[in-house]
Structure 1
Amino acid sequence: MKLFLLSCIITLSFAQDINPRKFPPNFLLGVANAATQIEGGWNEDGKSESIWDHFAHNFPEKIADKSNADIACDSYHKYKEDVALIKAMGLNHYRLSIAWTRVLPTGRTDNVNEAGVQYYKNVFKELRDNGIIPMVTLYHWDLPQILQEEMGGFMNESIADLFGDYARFCFETFGEDAKWWVTINEPKQVCQVGYGAGRYAPGIKSNGVGDYVCAKNLLLAHARAWHIYDEEFREKNQGKVAIVVDGSWAEPGSDNEADKAASERALHFGVGLYGNPVFNGDWPELVKQRVAERSKLEGFSESRLPAFTDEQIKYINGTSDYLALNHYSTMMASDSEAPIGQPSFDNDISARSWAKPEWTPTSQWWFYDLPWGLRKFLNWLKNTYNNPEIVITENGYVDNDDTLEDDRRIHYLRGYLSACLDAIYEDKVNLIGYTAWSIMDDWEWTGGYSSFLGMYKIDFKDPDIPRIKRKSAGYFTTIAHNRCLIDLDKCIE
């Protein structure tokens, strides 16, 4: 009897942690993926090589299982099957990306690949015919390799005009198909990991220098695309354009002021570096001061963080119609003053990132199921950026276990969606949509095919590359149908 009572108490306690409110009537629920990770057909029908094609082909040792995305989920041929899954789940929207290399193989608008254009036209028609809203990302890391070789990619300030031309082409070509646009996905990963640490394509190692140059050029590229839409397409197409910011919540490691300051540094370097210029104008002040001080001590004649001109600050400020957020987990942040020496993005932050021993680990060192971190993050964004409309454009559970009985993924989704409801109803955060990553397993960049995030399992060893339903797909379908996280008869309007 005591065991039974204890079981009941635990069950009730868990249930009470889940918000019983229904999602607002117009709240968007959807799933996401990206071209490189699912399409395959890497050189088919005129598509050119991207920096990630080049990276995986030439440096397989940098990929966990030495794989590549040549075939991936074969969505280039199986997109109708993918759309059917989304339709069957009853979801509102699908976040996908256009491969720059598939529509403009040279990266420039004087060489249009009609086969690539038709592919995306077909995808958009399939979505439209099934009542699914496309949320379209212009750049999900797949820069044409030729632009990297000819001009250095995002290290060259002329990338802003080239990206603007590409964006205009997409707005002209697909403007009737899509109203929700994302310019660039996760700029921190593009710049700090791709052009600083060198772990991601294009593999440039210029830590604490090149990553900041990339950040400035990338923000100018984003702003160029936003202004093109605003001036040339908004009146006709009535869409919205945003840039994605991504990050883990940085919880102060203690109540002392040094750890609280470390938490703020981690957030402003990780998120504010891209969010602040767009929503408030200019780099975050503490980022500017800190990089300038450390640069001087390191013997630089000027800050490693390139300054914006007054004109550029004005040009970038206000260039996001909503805040697109990718968030997966939370880490603790403690002050850890780094010695002066080699330039380093992490040393500029000087915050030790760590996990509490009681947190349940997964297959990824940085990943923990802590939904309270999302709620805190949403409130920080609300307060820091003047309560913008927020769409969560990625959130999901990662593991190296490809089981179909993925109860841990269900637990994660339930908790994080409950945190969303808490933020909406208790904290008055202007959150209008949630996008789960992912509809299906995919090629996870340097994780290859060894990390699983899909609500549908992909059997990559089967030549037919079947989509196999996991338990979480059924759970998410029920959420979409009921618009609630608990039994329908117990939901609160």
Structure 2
Amino acid sequence: MVLNKKFTWGGASAANQYEGGYDKGGKGLNAIDVLTNGSATEPRKVTWKKTNGETGATPLVWGKKFKLPEGAIPTILDGYYYPSHQGTDFYHHYKEDIKLMAEMGFKAFRTSIAWTRIFPNGDDKKPNEAGLKFYDNLFDTCNQYGIEPIITLSHFEIPFHLVKKYGGFTNRKLIDYFVRFATVCFKRYKNKVKYWMTFNEIDNQSAYNNDFLMATNSGILFKKGMTDKEKEAAMYQAGHYELVASALAVKIGHKINPNFQIGCMINYSPVRPLTPSSDDVLLADKFEQRRDWFSDVHVFGKYPNAVEAYIERNGYRPDITDEDRIVLQEGTVDYVAFSYYQTTTVSSKKVKPDDLTDLSKAVTKNPTLKRSDWGWEIDPEGLRIALNQLTDRYHKPLFIVENGLGAYDKVEADGSIHDDYRIDYLKKHISEMEKAVELDGVNLMGYLPWGPIDLVSAGTGQMDKRYGFIYVDKNDAGKGTLKRSRKDSFYWYKKVIASNGKKLD
């Protein structure tokens, strides 16, 4: 078996990291618009102001507790750089960028619709026509080049107004606001977009002690003094509301256009036990149960028994109705989309299986794997494992909608960029992907590596952490001409697409 002729090659991005134009065309603020830039060693910060005029910035550190000062309200301040405000300016460069993607031979391009470009506050009664028109123009340009738009509805872009007024997805009202947004998009673009995803990497928030992920996934800024148990409870309730919102959107989307394909999107990382001990193996299993329930509900329309038992034992998710359970059953997804960057290794020496709550406390380094410049483990074989595990678990078509290497790129004196390290990374991952299809029979829709044109890193706010086939002249401080330049990987990926994956060298 080889990749069929309908296999979809392309690339993926997100509005908050790529689009820019944060104050153009009537767009409102989203939660990530109040985050400053950071680096590989310095965290991004949330800027704030108190009613007495005092201002400041509080670090939002991955995996550590985040507390704003008493009375502080997140806001945009002079003197700070906010990477999402411009991204790499796709808002003004989309025609040029889509043309470059077409030159590579893209069959599809994944991006998101910025919620606040359509509903600036999130709870507005009427949509913003200027925002709708922007995406009309974008999708028309994609279709002009034969590029299928693959659209995520919520990709770390929850309206900031919904965070401040309602507490993000801890409030049931957000179900209605998301469904209103989704419905408007489905109706407006029903003849321009076929493939949709509801929430990006919805399972990220299983790491409920990671304040960055809780803020960007669900719009939750934990209050000072909250216990770990209270944070975990908030995650389960918010996650439930998002799953209900997703299921309602799927039902409505299929009514608007029965040809729509609407999927979920998860961050999938196969879990390895550090040793073959029973405790390590059981810990790996428990880890997966606490993370994979999001996609279980998306696909099967009900909570798995192990998670129901855990929720009941801890008194979490108090607000779930019989109607919710019916909606979940009726709004299951058509396919499972996922990002793959690395595997996860766990050790019971760090936490015993029955004591697992905070998933990050179980994670340990895999001594057999190399790491990227940003410390991410590189495990190409893990992608094949992921494809097999997801196939065995869900029996749905799969779609790789993120994969790639964030790395430093050097522009030579003649303007060339020799990114052989990126080519090597992608070559090895594509090879494992092809084995999963050809040898294991995985039903795979396509491959959309992350950031085909350089964009802002979500975690660090950096430009130096580059993923693209196309270089954008902009640095970590936001300075540069925004000129686009083809890297060596641009020409390599063009050959891969033209050969439908046969020519990887």
| TM-score strictly above 0.5 | yes
User: Residues 131-150 of structure 1, C-alpha deviation per residue, up to 9 Å, x if partnerless?
Assistant: 10000111111111111122
- The 10-residue stretch of structure 1 (391-400 or 170-179) with the greater mean CA deviation from structure 2: 391-400
Q: Which residue of 1 aligns with 2:42?
A: none
Letter in structure 1 aligned against 2:280: D
Aligned pair partner of 2:392 in 383, 390, 410: 383
Q: In structure 2, do the counterparts of structure 1 residues 427 and 447 end up closer, same or farther at CA, with 3 Å as the change threshold?
A: same
Q: 1:17 corresponds to which residue?
A: none
The alpha carbon displacement at 1:220 in A equals 0.8
Q: In the alignment, what sits opposite 2:139?
A: 124
Return the alpha-carbon distance in structure 2 between the equivalents of residues 436 and 164 of structure 1: 28
CA displacement 1:315-341 (0-9 Å, x = unmatched): 213510111111111122222574899
Q: 2:458, 2:184 → 1: CA distance?
A: 27
Is the contact made by 2:167 and 2:220 (CA closer than 8 Å) also made in structure 1? no
2:157 alignment partner in structure 1: 142
Q: Could you tell me which residue of structure 2 aligns to residue 460 of structure 1?
A: 474
Q: Which residue does 1:12 correspond to in 2? A: none
Structure 1 pair 66–211 and aligned structure 2 pair: CA distance change class (3 A): farther
How many pairs does the alignment contain? 449
RMSD: 2.6
1:25-104 equivalences under 5 Å are: 25-56=5-36, 58=47, 59=57, 61-62=59-60, 67-104=82-119
Give 1:226's match in structure 2, choosing from 250, 265, 282. 250
From 365, 388, 393, the equivalent of 1:355 is 365
Contact 1:265/1:287 (8 A) holds in 2: no
CA distance in structure 2 between the partners assigned to 1:151 and 1:248 by the alignment: 32
Do 2:118 and 2:181's aligned partners in 1 also have CA atoms closer than 8 Å? no
Q: How far apart in 1 are the matches of 2:435 and 2:279? A: 29
- C-alpha distance in structure 1 between counterparts of 2:357 and 2:350, whole Å: 8
Amino acid of the structure 1 residue aligned with 2:115: W
Shift of 1:382: 1.2
1:418 positional shift: 1.2
Alpha-carbon displacement from aligned partner over 1:154-198 (angstroms, at most 9, x marks no partner): 111121111111111001111111000111111123x446x7532
In structure 2, how many angstroms separate the alpha carbons of the residues matched to 1:408 and 1:280? Answer: 40
The 3-state SS of whatever aligns with 1:445 is: coil
- Which residue pairs with 1:260 in the alignment? 281
Distance in 2 between residues matched to 1:165 and 1:392, nearest whole Å: 28
Partner residue in 2 for 1:286: 306
Q: Identify which range, 87-96 or 152-161, moves more after superposition.
A: 152-161
Instruction: State the partner residue of 2:54.
Output: none
Whole-angstrom CA distance in 2 between matches of 1:484 and 1:370:
20
The 10-residue stretch of structure 1 (261-270 or 138-147) with the greater mean CA deviation from structure 2: 261-270
Gaps of 5+ in 2: 37-45, 48-56, 63-79, 223-229, 412-416
Mark the CA change 1:196 to 1:175 in structure 2 (over 3 Å): closer, same or farther. Answer: farther
Any idea what the Cα deviations from partners look like across 1:201-234, whole Å, max 9, x if unmatched?
3462353121111111110111111111122x12
Q: Secondary structure at the match of 2:357?
A: helix
| 1:14 alignment partner in structure 2 | none
Aligned partners of 2:58 and 2:86: how far apart in 1? 15
Contact 1:338/1:348 (<8 A) preserved? no
Letter in 2 for 1:218: E
Tell me, in whole angstroms, the C-alpha distance in 1 between the residues paired with 2:190 and 2:26.
Answer: 23
Could you tell me whether the CA contact under 8 Å between 2:233 and 2:317 is conserved in 1?
yes
Which residue does 1:447 correspond to in 2? 460
* Separation (CA, whole Å) in 2 of partners of 1:95 and 1:419: 22
Partner Cα separation in structure 2 for residue 257 and residue 314 of structure 1: 38
Determine whether 1:469 maps to 2:486.
yes
Distance in 2 of aligned mates of 1:152 and 1:350 = 24
Q: Deviations over 1:270-299 (max 9, x none)?
A: 2x2211112223323223334544x3xxxx
Higher mean alpha-carbon deviation, 70-79 vs 53-62, is at 53-62
Q: Which amino acid aligns with 1:443?
A: V
Structure 1 CA distance, aligned partners of 2:363 and 2:209? Answer: 19
Q: What is the CA deviation profile of residues 446-484 of structure 1, one whole-angstrom value per residue up to 9, with x for unaligned ones?
A: 311242222212211454301222222211111001112
Matched-pair contact (CA < 8 Å) for 1:100–1:107:
yes
Amino acid paired to 1:252: P
Q: Which moved more, 1:195-204 or 1:80-89?
A: 195-204
SS of 1:199's partner is helix
C-alpha distance in structure 1 between counterparts of 2:272 and 2:286, whole Å: 11
**In 2, distance between residues paired with 1:255 and 1:339?**
15
Answer yes or no: is 1:163 the counterpart of 2:175: no
The residue number in structure 1 matching 2:293 is 273
Q: Which residue of 2 aligns with 1:16?
A: none
Q: 1:397 aligns with which of 382, 398, 405?
A: 405
Asked if 1 retains the 8 angstrom alpha-carbon contact of 2:380 and 2:432, the reply is yes
- Looking at structure 2, the residues matched to 427 and 359 of structure 1 have their Cα atoms a distance apart, in angstroms, of 24
Give the Cα–Cα distance (whole angstroms) in 1 for the partners of residues 192 and 221 of structure 2. 36
- Opposite residue 460 of structure 1, the aligned amino acid is K
The AA in structure 2 aligned to 1:164 is V
Identical-pair percentage: 27
Cα separation, 2, equivalents of 1:254 and 1:157:
42
Query: Distance between the aligned counterparts of 1:454 and 1:350, measured in 2?
Result: 29
**Cα distance, 1:84 vs. partner?**
0.8
Q: Closer, same or farther in 2 for the Cα pair 1:164/1:433, shift >3 Å?
A: same
- Aligned partner of residue 370 in structure 2, secondary structure: coil
Q: Which has the higher helix share?
A: 1
1:438 aligns with 2:451: yes
* CA spacing shift, 1:402–1:118, aligned 2, 3 Å: farther
**1:342-374, Cα deviation, whole Å (9 max, x unpaired):** xx9x63558622233342121223x22211111
AA partner of residue 199 (structure 1): F
* 1:60/1:67 contact within 8 Å kept: no
Which runs of no fewer than 5 residues in structure 1 stay unpaired?
Answer: 1-20, 296-302, 489-493
Where do residues 303-322 of structure 1 align in structure 2 (5 Å cutoff)? 303-306=315-318, 308-317=320-329, 319-322=332-335
Check if 1:371 corresponds to 2:380.
Answer: yes
Report the CA distance shift for 1:261/1:445 in structure 2 as closer, same or farther (over 3 A).
same
Query: How many angstroms does 1:267 deviate by?
Result: 2.0
Who is 1:481 aligned against? 498
| Equivalent runs, 1:6-21 vs 2, <5 Å | none
C-alpha distance in 2, partners of 1:453/1:313? 40
* Local SS of the residue matching 1:168: helix
Give TM-score scaled by structure 2 length.
Answer: 0.83
Q: Is the 8 A contact 1:262 1:349 kept in 2?
A: no
CA distance in 1, matches of 2:447, 2:198: 18
In structure 2, what is the equivalent of residue 15 of structure 1?
Answer: none
Aligned 8 A contact 2:296 2:302 in 1:
yes
2:150 alignment partner, SS class: strand
